[in-house]
Structure 1
Amino acid sequence: MASNAAVPFWRAAGMTYITYSNICANLVRNCLKEPHRSEALSREKVHFVSSKWVGGKPEKPTVRSDTPEH
């Protein structure tokens, strides 16, 4: 029988570590004073390219710029 004593609290709360980490990062960014807050929030943006593959070859790539939800 496994003990729950060694289970991290974020896991016991039903979160993944990534979710917990994102919540903590958002809290820290929101506690910063200007101009550091603006700089940190601008680094939060995510840019990526995705391509669908059809018949073993990639189609035209799509560039996306998303920001994580708060």
Structure 2
Amino acid sequence: MASNAAAPFWRAAGMTYITYSNICANLVRNCLKEPYKTEAISRERVHFAVSKWAEGKPEKPNVICVSA
């Protein structure tokens, strides 16, 4: 028997689970002491390359670094 009262609070707050888990991860990272905090924040970055195509061939890729 499941009831609506047992629904997760993040869903009741109108958040997705991804948003909730990102908030929790940020809180944990901010609670860490150095040097662990710096290491955890550095792993948060994302690198990817974007290539435009012209005449069926890729042009020089642009490497993009995104940090949250």
Q: Is 1:13–2:52 an aligned residue pair?
A: no
Of structures 1 and 2, the larger Rg is shown by: 2
Does the 8 Å CA contact 1:51/1:58 hold for their aligned counterparts?
no
Q: CA RMSD in A?
A: 2.3
Please report the TM-score for the alignment, with normalisation by the length of structure 1: 0.72
Q: How many residue pairs were aligned?
A: 65
Distance in 1 (CA, whole Å) between partners of 2:62 and 2:17 is 29
> Structure 1 regions of 5+ residues with no counterpart?
none
**Unaligned stretches of 5+ in structure 2?**
none
Q: Determine what percentage of the aligned residue pairs are the same residue.
A: 70
Q: Determine helix, strand or coil for the equivalent of 2:14.
A: coil
Cα distance between partner residues in 1 of 2:51 and 2:57: 6
Rounded Cα–Cα distance in structure 1 between residues aligned with 2:57 and 2:28: 40
TM-score (norm 2): 0.74
Cα 1:7–1:45 shift into 2, 3 Å: same
